[in-house]
Structure 1
Amino acid sequence: MLEKIIEPKKQISKEQQIFSNKRLWQLIYPILVEQILILLVGIADTLIVSYAGESAVSGVSLVNQINNIFIIVFMSLASGGAVIVSQYIGRNELDKGKLSSGQLIMISFVISIIIGAILLVSREILLRFLFGKTEVDVMEASITYLTITVLSFPALAVHQACSAIFRSMAKTKITMYVSFLMNVINLSGNMIGVFLLKAGVKGVAIPSLISRCVAAFIMLVACFYRKNIIFVKFKYIFHFNKEIIKRILHIAIPNAIEGGLLEAAKVVLNSIVALFGTSQIAANGVSQNLFNMSSLFSSVMGPVFITVIGHILFHPCTFTLASGLRAAGDVKFTLYSGIFSTVVVRVLSAFILGIWLNMGVIGVTFSMVIDWSVRFTVNLLRYKSGKWKTFEVI
């Protein structure tokens, strides 16, 4: 039924298929495994830190919502770069793809340094402004956790950028292996920090810093491997190309604003949850990891769409796949609809249900469900309209 609502089934001959079902699965499953690992480690992290006390769980939960805003920025930059690199591969303009890869790494690193510096300087002011009514122990845990995790932003940004480059080449296994290693280091470090060293919040934050640095180093070295169709040279990184950066940011900025607003809304919702006491903050933090399971497959398909659409965009047989080729350029609509759904629907309904109707954290959760429903409906109508077919990126 859903298939008929979205689009009637169309058959493509094997001769016209650029990505066979087998090749698509080879592209999808490493990203799926990677996302499952991230999700499971996130749940395990929450369980481990719970042994450090309710205040530690609450502090980590509150700070992660702030961190996620800026992680979205890094992911948006990586996605913007992946779109450009994928399409240059599709056009067989590999030199421009290599230059774009270097520019992506450079701009990701620079922006992460700027964001990290601002957060380090203003961390206490920011946390007290957002969560000033929380208990003293929760605030101290939040400040400690934010200070350490912000130091990992440059490594995280570089890791995201390098992973996007490999996904653009349809090489997703290396990102899966590195993600597995990163999560093993993180989880092992958490267990040592919390159970053996009794380091509390520091025992959770420091392993995150170490694991992200290791992952960034491995992925960056791999990007210099010359047998890849797209590889990076130092001159590509230490060179400012205004045109390429403009193209990357054209995709990245609307995505970052939309995703950042969504995460900012979660911070506002957490500020509301903070009014209900430490136990509800902790319960909300644990439940967020479970909610992430519902969006797991959509998180996987996003990078896959970027790679596939980019590779086939300029192929001679693209007329057979006209229903999806220029979708990546329709960024303004998703930005505006995202702002409406986040600010008007999610935040407003959270205030009404959570505070006015006195439903507490359950009301905040219902506001998320309402937001998801509105987003699905609006995006489905946009897809059916076909207006997204008129956009181009390069």
Structure 2
Amino acid sequence: MTIGACDTVMVSSVGEAGVSGVSLIDQLTQLFIQLFAAFATGGAVVSSQYLGHKSDDKARSAARQLLYMSLFVALLIIALCLPLRRLILNWIYGGAGEEVMQNALVYFVWILLSFPFLAVYNSCAALYRSMGNSKISLKVSLVMNATNIAGNALLIYGAKIGVAGAGIATLASRMIAAFVMIYLLARPSAKNSGRIYLEKLWKVEIRFDMIRKILKVAIPSGIENSVFHIGKILVYSFMSGFGLAAIAANAITNTIASFSNIPAQAIGLASVTVIGQCIGAGEKQQAKSYGRKLMKEAYIGMFTVATAIFILAPLLVRAFNLSDEARILSTGVIRTCMVANIFFWPMSFTLPNILRASGDAKFTMIVSNISMWLFRVLFSFLISKYLLYKFPENTALALYGVWFGMYIDWVFRGLCFGVRFHRNKWLDKKLI
């Protein structure tokens, strides 16, 4: 997340068109990144359940298949999107303006090229988490962020190449992270230091039985996340007519708000390991007990960070090179988001990870898709259109309508996941 935030902050020296261009691509690429996250989740769930079942050899086999699938999908995305990038952006963000579109096109090329390395990094990080070791991915992430910041400073401020510099720095940082992760999992000492390691990666061996287990979680998760982000892109599409100040304010709000989600997201990632190993070992009641504890920790973390961001919002927004209109608008939207985050975000996004860890991915997919289309897309459109009709002289105000539609989406999905958790149906699921 810090990589995206640093790109947005440091490219703001180019102006609001640069920030808006990077923001539009960030929203589009989240669609693809969620595919890698879905594969990583599927691989981590299967590996965790095998580790809980004391079947380390099968956990290692699942790890290899996860890596092959993620890399193949990343290369496929490049092959499809790189030659069609202008057509794709014109179709989705046609009303964004020529200057914003040019910045988006430049940034998109470098982000696409970074996908294979991001896919490898995500897969390896998920494997380390399935073993209960998140320190490795933390350390590699720090190296990745340092590389990105240094590259941004050199290319944006030094070489003066704007959004291209941000894209190149992101590509370089993800390359380094991927190579380091592969080295750590494939080195000879990995056999002694962890239960999952990679051997002879160049000798490709496809195990369709293992792939099916991974895809049983990955496909519903991928559909859920992808359709969810398609909905977000549709919202961005009609929001592009709200004006440059609203687009820039939305970009800053997304960047800052994403940091308040980190505690609950971290608990969600940890739950895959904890709940997955409990289910693999056949300890259903222990899985539910840990689920309750994990949710409590998620709420505590969310309350702490979101409250701090609510108070400091005006100061945080000043870090970006925005107009007064965009700065005031983003401060207001950030504060509404922090209130909604505290009450609704963990139930909406941490709890479904607990359900997925048992293999209950189909239910979360169905609920998320219904909620996204009904509330996030439809209600965002209706509320924002009403505000445009009511206050035609202040188009930027319609941005609040987009975000309030999203909050309604969180409430609905959180209620559905809470009922599912307490009725215990998710405990009957198992992948191995």
Query: Given the alignment of the two structures, is residue 88 of structure 1 paired with residue 118 of structure 2, yes or no?
Result: no
- 1:116-265 equivalences in 2 (<5 Å): 116-224=78-186, 225-227=190-192, 228-234=194-200, 238-265=204-231
Cα distance in structure 1, aligned partners of 2:5 and 2:280: 42
C-alpha separation in 1, matches of 2:143 and 2:79: 28
**Alpha-carbon offset, residue 287 of structure 1:** 0.6
Q: Which residue of 1 aligns with 2:286?
A: 321
Q: 2:285 & 2:118 partners in 1: Cα distance?
A: 38
Q: For the residues of structure 2 that align with 1:349 and 1:357, how far apart are their CA atoms?
A: 12
Deviation at residue 232 of structure 1 after TM alignment? 0.8
| Gap change, CA 1:384 and 1:51, over 3 Å in 2 | same
Tell me the amino acid that sits aligned with residue 156 of structure 1: L
Q: CA deviation at 1:294?
A: 3.6
Question: 2:313 corresponds to which residue?
Answer: none
Change in CA separation of 1:269 and 1:237 when aligned onto 2, cut-off 3 Å: farther
1:92/1:107 Cα in 2 relative to 1: closer, same or farther (>3 Å)? Answer: same
Aligned residue type for 1:87? Q
Map of 1:286 onto structure 2: 252
CA gap of 1:336–1:67, structure 2 versus 1, over 3 A, is: same
Ranked by relative contact order (alpha carbons within 8 Å, sequence separation 6 or more), the top structure is 1
Task: Indicate which of 74, 95, 98 corresponds to 1:112.
Answer: 74
Percent identity of equivalent pairs: 34
| Unaligned stretches of 5+ residues in structure 1 | 1-37
- In 2, Cα distance between equivalents of 1:294 and 1:49: 22
Aligned to 2:308: none
CA change 1:339–1:57 in 2 (3 A) is same
Q: Which amino acid aligns with 2:226?
A: G
Which of 365, 379, 393 is residue 335 of structure 1 equivalent to? Answer: 365
Residue matched to 2:234 = 268
Question: Which of 359, 369, 377 is 2:407 aligned to?
Answer: 369
**Partner Cα separation in structure 2 for residue 107 and residue 186 of structure 1:** 26
Distance 1:75 1:319 in 2: 26
TM-score normalised per structure 2: 0.79
> 1:100 maps to which residue?
62
Tell me the SS of whatever aligns to 1:233: coil
Aligned-residue offset at 1:43: 3.0
The one-letter code sitting in structure 1 at the alignment partner of 2:238 is: I
Amino acid at match of 1:295: N
Aligned match of 1:54 = 16
Aligned position for 1:350: 380
Moved more, 303-312 or 319-328: 319-328
TM-superposed deviation, 1:237: 6.2
Match of residue 297 from structure 1: 263
Which range moves more in the overlay, 102-111 or 219-228?
219-228
Tell me the residue number matched to 1:379. 417
Please state whether the residue corresponding to 1:138 is helix, strand or coil.
helix
| CA-CA distance at 1:235 after TM superposition | 5.3
The answer on whether the counterparts of 2:50 and 2:280 sit within 8 Å (CA) in structure 1 is no
Higher helix share: 2
Distance 1:319 1:114 in 2: 39
- Where 2:95 maps in the other structure, the secondary structure is coil
Within the candidate set 398, 402, 427, 1:360 is matched to 398
Q: CA deviation at 1:226?
A: 2.1
The structural deviation recorded for 1:312 is 2.7
Out of 65, 70, 75, the residue aligned to residue 27 of structure 2 is 65
Contact 2:114 2:171 in 1 (8 A): yes
**Secondary structure class of the residue paired with 2:14:** coil
Shift of 1:298: 2.1
RMSD over aligned CA atoms reads 1.7
Q: How far apart are the structure 1 equivalents of 2:362 and 2:35?
A: 17
Alpha-carbon separation, structure 2, partners of 1:50 and 1:194: 10
- Superposed CA deviations along residues 350-376 of structure 1, whole A, max 9, x for unmatched, are 110112431411111111111111111
TM-score by length of 1: 0.86
The 1:254/1:315 distance shift into structure 2, 3 A limit, reads closer
Q: SS in structure 1 opposite 2:182?
A: helix
What corresponds to 1:10 in structure 2? none
Equivalences, count: 355
Equivalent residue letter for 1:149:
I
